[in-house]
Amino acid sequence: MKPQASGEDVRRVCEKIESLGFRAHPMPGAQRTAIGVTGNPGLIEPAEFEGLPGVAEAIRVSKPYKLVSREVKNEDSLIRVGPPEGSPNGGGAPGGFVVGGQELAIIAGPCAIESREQAMDAAERVKKAGARLFRGGAFKPRTSPYSFQGLGKEGLEILGEVRRATGLLIVTETIDPENCDLV
């Protein structure tokens, strides 16, 4: 945006972005405001915006992960995995781990949890190799409904056993909001 662009100018550009089905991310700066666009599957024609009041220029950004780039966000992204140190809910885990912190995050494990034996064997090897986080999929959506879909709740129970037996923190995923509480 131009340095003298008004709040109304910024709002108008954000509305235009949203009318195209994308998300607008205004980033006020000391001299001017930049507005990032996410959700676009490809390039957007700069002419869509350059004629709007207050717009200085429209710049195509070809870099992935715009919102976490150092141009937008100066501080590190830190993601806590597991309970905080000393938490009574540790369940065998020795405390949390911060991904993005000073320690290298090594996360390893099988794509899918297929059995208790497979998971325990893999977890022992992962721990011996120095990892602090064990990743295993309990839910494995596949294109074919006849393919292995994961063990679901049983897979989560096995992951809980792995956590208690090894002290490794667990990383898994779900694609259905209905399973979030279960996870």
Q: Is the pLDDT of residue 182 over 70?
A: yes
160 is in which domain, residue-wise? 79-179
Q: What is the residue-averaged pLDDT of the chain?
A: 85
The share of the chain scoring above pLDDT 90, in percent, equals 48
Both tokens of 131, joined, read 């990892």
1 located within any domain: no
Could you give phi then psi for residue 152, rounded to 5 degrees?
60, -130
pLDDT digits (tens, 9 = 90+) for 16-35: 999 999 999 998 887 889 99
CATH code of the domain in which 131 resides:
3.20.20.70
Note the pTM of the prediction, 2 decimals.
Answer: 0.60
| 60 and 103 belong to one structural domain | no
pLDDT for 62 equals: 66
Task: Evaluate whether residue 73 is within a structural domain.
Answer: no
Q: At 179, is the secondary structure helix, strand, or coil? A: helix
